[in-house]
Structure 1
Amino acid sequence: MTVAEELHFGRAADRLHIVQPAVSQQVRKLERELGVELFDRSPRTVRLTAAGRLFLPEARAVLAAEARARDVVASLNRTVLRLGTSDGLGEHLDRVLDRLSFEVELVSAATQARLDRVRAGELDATFVRGVGASPGLRLIPLWQDQLTIALPVNHPLADAPSVDLADLADMPLRLAERGRNTPLHDLVVTACRAAGFDPVFGPPFTTMQDTLASIGRSDTWTVLYESHARRLPTPRVAFRRTTTPIRMTTLLAVSESSPPKYLDELLRACDHDS
């Protein structure tokens, strides 16, 4: 192939990192096996013969098929983890991925859809929050996610090291509609009631970008996972912890009957104390 591409034995030898006589010997051996001459050699030029021109595309096809076959066999030995993700994992997800020694395919979908796909064997595992016992699945607690308050940077509370939820009672709260994230919605509302008030809801939380941009220009607030908030460049929004911590547990859901063979390594990657 290399001689046919270069039409020069010396340049072909350079590309193959072998000496020219070895190239000539291999070509002559192939010609003897085929019973035809593939190259017309002269002192100054090397050209493909008619047989060589017919042989070249077939040789290319054989080499391409060999490469595909090698790729298929290699893929059988390559570990790919199909991992469902949750919103707001932030630095947690980065740390897990940095610790894994195998390839990871990240899949985003609604919580129930991800759980169903783990149950069906279409995902190896998924991160989830706020879910109870699920038939056929094992739920493994991983870490506690701290929630942080997002409020306008020019609000008086933005200068405090932490915020008492009761001080936000008169400010509209921006949360996604309950059906979109029931566990988070209920957790925040419960925390507000424990602080002595029912929250006044403002416009719903839409996208991260639009909601934070709106908060930076209005007297409203929302909550974010702290691990995610630390990565957000938002000069008009301040992030503050609550005086009484609000936390939610992140879980790993895997099949109860056929967990992934690399579950132990995945759990070690999720262990933030190691």
Structure 2
Amino acid sequence: MTDTDTTTRVALVTGGSGGIGRAVAERLARDGIAVAVHYAGNKAKADETVAAIVAAGGRAIPVGGDVADEDAMSAAFDAVEQEFGGVDVVVNTAGIMVLSPIATLDLDDLDRMHRTNIRGTFVVSQQAARRVRGGGAIINFSTTVTRTKFPTYGAYVASKAAVEAMTLVLARELRGKDITVNAVAPGPTATPLFLNGKDEATVENLAKAAPLERLGAPDDIAESVAFLAGPARWINGQVLFANGGLA
């Protein structure tokens, strides 16, 4: 659906076709924000998310591309601007997680995580720094495991610690532009990314670890993002831990 009203707030959500990304896209749409739902390889899932948003009365389009490819992401931002008139909110949920002890990690997996989690976030943040309108927000994704330090998460945590660092620097580089830059660090959240490869006992133990004694839901994380994307104009250069009190 085309909307040329430049007063409409517009969001681009990377990895927006499933899991936390889809919950974020749908939550922002409920706030009246026009949403570009980014996908890397599964356009059908992005189309499903777009259809759900439109059916609920929102505005959304799918946009594709490798987040680590600067040309693809430049084209994605171009498509959003052409469709909706600008970009106000950029949410980087796209990421991959491979778990292994550091001693036995396949370095190809390290490189894959580096490409998506670090370079991908950097490329999208770079475009966002150039294009997000005043009054906007850039929201990256870290992880609570930077605090809990669970074994087998070493390479993943290394990539997310880099995301935290670049987020805090970018917030200060955008001085005077009225753009906030923050990161959300979810705790254990019931998504395919988290549940994949974990047995029932492991999931149950993680669910009981937080004082609220449950796993997070994608909607829990989406609420944190909506807060940073909208009313939280005095929160800037921070990492918001959304984990039920786990750490």
TM-score (norm 1): 0.29
Higher strand share: 1
Higher helix share: 2
TM-score (norm 2): 0.31
Structure of larger gyration radius? 1
